[in-house]
Structure 1
Amino acid sequence: MKVVVRTVAVVAAVILLAVVGLVSLVLSDDDAEATELAAGGGGLQGVPSEFRSWILKADAACDQPAMTPALLAAQLYQESKFKTSRAEATSSAGAEGPAQFMPATFATWGRDDDGNGSTSAWDIGDAVMAQGRMMCSLLKTAKASGLPGDIRRLALAGYNAGWGRVLEFGGVPDEDWAGGETHHYVEIIMTTMKRFEGPGLLHVSGSGTGAKALRKAATQMDTPYAWGGGGPQGPSTGFCDGTNGYLNGTCSASSTVGFDCSSLVQYAYWPDTKLPRTAAAQYGATANRPVARADLKPGDLLFWSRGGTSAIYHVALYAGDGRVLHAPRTGRTVSLAPLTSAMPESDYVGATRP
């Protein structure tokens, strides 16, 4: 899912010669004028730093619009108050970890998402990603069920009581069932979501294809970098090629859902402008429309190379105020950076307008 940044202008997204990408929230195609998302537009606030990146990642991995970082955060707060110790996050019924999974349920949804060699409901990354997968599945089920009511409420009830109970009651179980546990669980989370909704993602001036692409790319702020990952449909796991995609000697890309520089750009412009996959190919496809540095507009593509236009290795989106929006490298996330330091200044080749 989805990210948070406030700025008053255009954004540039940088892309490496391989694929770069990550998916999340997509703004309306009709968003042509300067737009600033209100609270609840995908932002996140008020969560412990060790949970933040995982909540955003879990949200980005779900293709259901009803999923938001604030929903996951409010649910985690209700489940455990973000506690991670066995003394504080073990329920009388045997639920474990910050997302309060019963062992049998975690066996279904849990993965070694943090790459530490074990799959554990006590690991923040594993727990939050499992929570996200289960909630995403429940949101899909609720949407397809035809049951009346907010599908978020139905999914939360399914998480707490099991989907069978939701079907039995034709919605959220009644307040007099099980001492009102599920009923109050749903109501509390829906109410406390507001406290975790961060500011809007971006304020972009202007209209047209470039501004629209920038707005879309900005929804992917904080999405992890994954070499070879991502594409028109959003973020995905990447791969390692013997040189790229490694972090501390380990192939990070194959277990990271995200974008690389060029996949982020491709995602931003798709489907209005179907750019090719790599940074070099994107330059080739747009080189006949060069843009001087003094004339940059939101959404323009910026390129870097270590050997002329035949060796372009990175692409980014211009974001206004001398900044770019890009997916920098393995271990980093989609973010804003000064144009002058996003990549070595001596490697800057120029800009084009798709």
Structure 2
Amino acid sequence: MNTSKKILLLCVPFLLAACGSTPKHRAEVSSKPKQVARSSASQVHITHIDRDQAAQELMLHGMSLIGTPYRYGGSDTATGFDCSGMIQFVYQNALGVSLPRTARDMAAASRRIDPSRLKTGDLVFFNTGGSSKYSHVGLYIGNGEFIHAPSSKGVIRTEKMSNPYFAKRFVGAHTFFN
């Protein structure tokens, strides 16, 4: 075995360890006291992190869940997620922000925005025939796409906003950012 291959083999454990570690900037962000202002109307406003940094963190955390099984009422990686459980998990783990549990309550706690103003990290809501106008929620990731935990096909995946099923059922765009 030549010298360059030996060096590469010696470096592999260190590279793998680095991939599994948390970057220093994330630890600093999550170790800060949560500065989430809540009004008496139970609105959630995220103020403790830069919007662009938050968007990147939310998208990365959401993308890391692709392929995770759907489970009604689910809220963790071990057993799976439903749509609002996935959103709650992503916001908590990416930004340290606690959100309400249901899509309906997330809609009530967020600020409605014009769909043309959607940015990565905002929420998209749908009426998929549930008992509430806001029966399904996804995380907008840009370029007309969102991540969600649908019960059909059983895994977290990305979807186009233009998908006829979702376009017909779209009921609003919301944000927790100012």
SS for the counterpart of 1:336 is strand
Q: Which residue of 92, 107, 111 maps to 1:283?
A: 107
How far apart are 1:27 and its partner, in Å?
Answer: 6.3
Partner of 1:315: 137
Query: Does the aligned pair in 2 maintain the 1:226–1:330 contact within 8 Å?
Result: no
Given the superposition, is the C-alpha separation of residues 26 and 336 from structure 1 closer, same or farther in structure 2, using an over 3 Å criterion?
farther
SS for the counterpart of 1:337 is strand
Partner of 1:324: 146
* Matching of residue 273 in structure 1 with residue 97 in structure 2: yes
* Matching of residue 226 in structure 1 with residue 71 in structure 2: yes
Partner of 1:90: none
CA distance in 2, matches of 1:295, 1:26: 34
- Could you tell me which runs of 5 or more consecutive residues in structure 2 were left unpaired when the two chains were aligned: 1-19, 27-50
Q: Calculate the aligned-residue CA RMSD, in Å.
A: 2.8
CA distance in 1, matches of 2:24, 2:107: 25
SS for the counterpart of 2:52 is coil
CA distance in 1, matches of 2:139, 2:21: 16
How far apart are 1:210 and its partner, in Å?
Answer: 3.0
- Could you tell me which runs of 5 or more consecutive residues in structure 1 were left unpaired when the two chains were aligned: 1-24, 32-205, 237-256
CA distance in 2, matches of 1:292, 1:318: 13
SS for the counterpart of 2:25 is coil
How far apart are 1:335 and its partner, in Å?
Answer: 0.9
Partner of 2:117: 295
CA distance in 1, matches of 2:60, 2:22: 7
Query: Does the aligned pair in 2 maintain the 1:27–1:215 contact within 8 Å?
Result: no
Given the superposition, is the C-alpha separation of residues 346 and 219 from structure 1 closer, same or farther in structure 2, using an over 3 Å criterion?
same
CA distance in 1, matches of 2:53, 2:65: 20
Pick the structure with more strand per residue: 2
Partner of 1:78: none
- The residue type paired with residue 214 of structure 1 is M
Partner of 2:25: 30
Query: Does the aligned pair in 2 maintain the 1:222–1:334 contact within 8 Å?
Result: yes
**TM-score, normalized by length of structure 2?**
0.64
Given the superposition, is the C-alpha separation of residues 328 and 322 from structure 1 closer, same or farther in structure 2, using an over 3 Å criterion?
same
CA distance in 2, matches of 1:343, 1:265: 21
- The residue type paired with residue 225 of structure 1 is Y
Query: Does the aligned pair in 1 maintain the 2:133–2:171 contact within 8 Å?
Result: no
Partner of 1:340: 162
CA distance in 2, matches of 1:342, 1:325: 16
CA distance in 2, matches of 1:224, 1:280: 22
CA distance in 2, matches of 1:222, 1:342: 22
Given the superposition, is the C-alpha separation of residues 310 and 222 from structure 1 closer, same or farther in structure 2, using an over 3 Å criterion?
closer
Given the superposition, is the C-alpha separation of residues 277 and 343 from structure 1 closer, same or farther in structure 2, using an over 3 Å criterion?
farther
Given the superposition, is the C-alpha separation of residues 310 and 228 from structure 1 closer, same or farther in structure 2, using an over 3 Å criterion?
closer
Given the superposition, is the C-alpha separation of residues 283 and 342 from structure 1 closer, same or farther in structure 2, using an over 3 Å criterion?
farther
CA distance in 1, matches of 2:61, 2:140: 13
* Matching of residue 235 in structure 1 with residue 57 in structure 2: no
Deviations, residues 322-342 of structure 1 (Å, cap 9, x unaligned): 111111115421111101227
